[in-house]
Amino acid sequence: MKLNTALLLLLAPPALSDRVDDYIDQLSLEEKIKYLGGNGMGNYPDDGEYVGTVLATDHAGIPALLYNDGPQGFRDDARPGTSTALPSGLNVAATWSTEAATLWGDVLGAEFFDKGSNVMLGPGMNVARVPRNGRNFEYMSGEDPSLGAGLVPSVIKASQSHKILANAKHFVNNNQETNRGEMSSQVDERTRFEMYYPPFQAAIDAGVGSFMCSYNKINHVYSCENPETLVDDLKGAMGFEGYVMSDWGATHSASLLQGLDQEMADADFMNFDNLKDAPVDAIDASVRRILKPFVDVGAFDLTDDEQAARSIYNNVTSDEHFEAARSISVESHVMLKNTDSVLPLGRDFFTGENTVAVIGSQGDDNCIGGGGSGRVDAAWKPTPLATLKATAEDAAYGADSDKIKYLDDDSSLEDQIELASNSDLCLFFLQTSSGEGSDRDNLNLNADGKVAEVASHCAKSVAVVSAPGAVLMPWADSVDSVLLNFMPGVASAFATVDILVGDEEPTGRLPITMPLIENQEGMTLEQFPGVDGNMNSTYTETWGFGYRYYHLHQEEPRFWFGAGLGYSSFEVTKISWGDSNVKVSIKNTGDVDSTAVPQLYLGAPSGCDLPLWALKGFDKLLVKAGESANVEFALDEKDVSKWDVDARDWAMCGGEWSARVGFSAQLVDDETIATKTI
């Protein structure tokens, strides 16, 4: 790309704002450049710890820009427990619910506002290409761009309604943590637009104010100085008018003319000495991009009372936010197996002589979130064991909590078998976690080696799994029921017990595929983690990862993307194409009211080089027992198009398109399929 082309895009201002232009007119060149680089971490207020700052320009009436982690809640290491440890972004993906996404974004926005920040460094929305990626738990797309694109707008709108900016991250192809500061994601333009950009495009369409470029390189050029992805793609074809900040320490040059608007957290490169001779129009354009979103969301128009009430020292937790975390956690619990309707137990299970074995340290020291910038420390953390005992001791039932026995991970196989043999129910609590900066070594769960043998001695058995992404479950055939709750947040124990006793139905569905074996998708070292020099990771699979891989290679995973059980069953009774939608009727064929999550998958004509089946829509609704419901999935031209590299635009793919609606990505024999020639 020639520099003059880049400049034309960079200098094109967002929709003009007289107020923003007035701000810029009051700034000296040095003050303008101040906005292109941060003032460090932890220096505002004097003893505070916002992770990024741009100090106020008092004479122009511009407040300080105060940035803070993160994507699961306000991270306050100096004051742990003063914000709500919400379920993770992957949990939001597991809800398949725009209402849950709205609630999550609303709590995030409210707490960031009350903590005095005006930039929330989230949500994360990268598509999960690599099952072992250490940050998959942060991202609300799961393994499918349409799932992320369907949920992201709700979070952006809800959080920004609180007069703060959301931040779409990490742009782009930051799909692994291994060697993230040097590795290069070798990915072609069409794959970027079709598989990795849609959630980011949805954020743009929802009015997100800021983007964060990532640590990695894309095709050998660092993300934060990559004019192809930042200028041509993001600010050009995708139409983003807000500003791009770097990830912390991800800047390698004064990259103003390559599409970076602001370096965080310090101005090591984007400073006065390096930029004083840069084109003034380019400087003004970036400052305008930075200031305008704050004006748009009302961040610069706080009342005196609002401003006085906001402080990083506030404890912003509340019963209301705890209950919101509980609700989201309930909605993101995925029941993957339920032999002989073992669940729900019913509260009366605890009123008789039933005894319960709680096995696994996760039962008494539960992992509620991942590590790194997405970590939030909870003020208190109710555990499954304590919550079960409290439920048993509920005054309305008066059961004996001593009938609930516990063994941790270090207990012997013999002790576990003895306890299991003398119990009416075994509850296995299993977990693994991950965090920023490294990928998982494998997909194993902690201390799951004894489950299969111990479960054979149980009258009934349920496994409850907490995990930051895909995991192996070699014992799945040995237990009666499996509940997966990902990184479930501070209220997870309450949510889990709600589901175990039947106060709530598990309505989550898998946002990622659960494989049978390690690397079932057969990624080569060249694909992950990458080889040659600085770890070049090649995306030669293009769209062929996740459930699309299993379709293409006709393989069966352990559990399919989109899968999940409730307490009833559903069938599709009718499906048809409309002018710009697909209409479907579903029926609850069971005898209890239950929540359905119908999913629309489209199959492209041969010759389009598109996935055999690709998710294009979803819904979540309660259907009464024995009754039917009609659902419409709206479609636009992009849904039946592919990215045309020559035209730099979407091009409809003509021919016969197929539509199927199911309750997971699994292909079912004799299912009803509707076709339409386009």
Residue with tokens 């063994």: 407
- For the record, the structure tokens of 292 come out as 């305008």
Measured between alpha carbons, how far is 125 from 175 in angstroms, rounded to an integer? 11
Ramachandran quadrant class, 520 (left: phi over 0; alpha: psi -120 to 50; beta: rest): alpha
**Nearest Cα residue to 354 out of 362, 346, 363:** 346
* DSSP result, 300-338: T---HHHHHH--TT-----HHHHHHHHHHHHHH-EEEEE
Pairing of strands 210-213, 243-246: parallel
H helices of 310-455, in order, are: 319-332, 384-392, 413-421, 451-455
The single residue listed with the structure tokens 């793609």 is: 233
Give the CA-trace dihedral at 512, 514, 517, 523, to 10 degrees: -10
Residue 550 CA to residue 148 CA, distance in Å, equals: 20
Return the C-alpha torsion angle 174, 178, 183, 189, nearest 10.
-30
User: What is the spatial distance between Cα 183 and Cα 218, in angstroms, rounded to a whole number?
Assistant: 9
**609 flagged as catalytic:** no
**Three-state secondary structure readout of 588-615:** ECCCCCEEECCEEEEECCCCCCCCCCEE
Which residue in the list 69, 232, 247, 261 is annotated as catalytic?
247
Burial of 463 (0-12, 13-18, 19+ CB in 10 A): buried
Interatomic CA distance for residues 618 and 620, integer angstroms: 7
The DSSP call for residue 485 is -
- Alpha carbon distance, N-terminus to C-terminus of the chain: 35
Across-strand partners of 212?
A: 245
Give Cβ neighbours of residue 163 (< 8 Å, ≥ 6 apart): 113, 118, 297, 298, 299, 301, 302
What is the rounded distance in angstroms from the CA atom of residue 35 to the CA atom of residue 286? 9
DSSP state of 574: E
Closest CA to 86 of 140, 152, 23: 140
Q: How many CB atoms lie within 10 A of CB 590?
A: 15
Complete DSSP assignment for 500-563: HHTSS------SS-B-SSTTTT---TTTTT-BTTTTEEE-TTTT-STHHHHHHHT---SB-TT-
DSSP conformation class of 362 = G
Q: Is the dihedral of CA 652, 653, 657, 659 positive or negative?
A: negative
Selection from 407, 397, 588 nearest residue 501 by Cα: 397
- Return the active site residues: 247
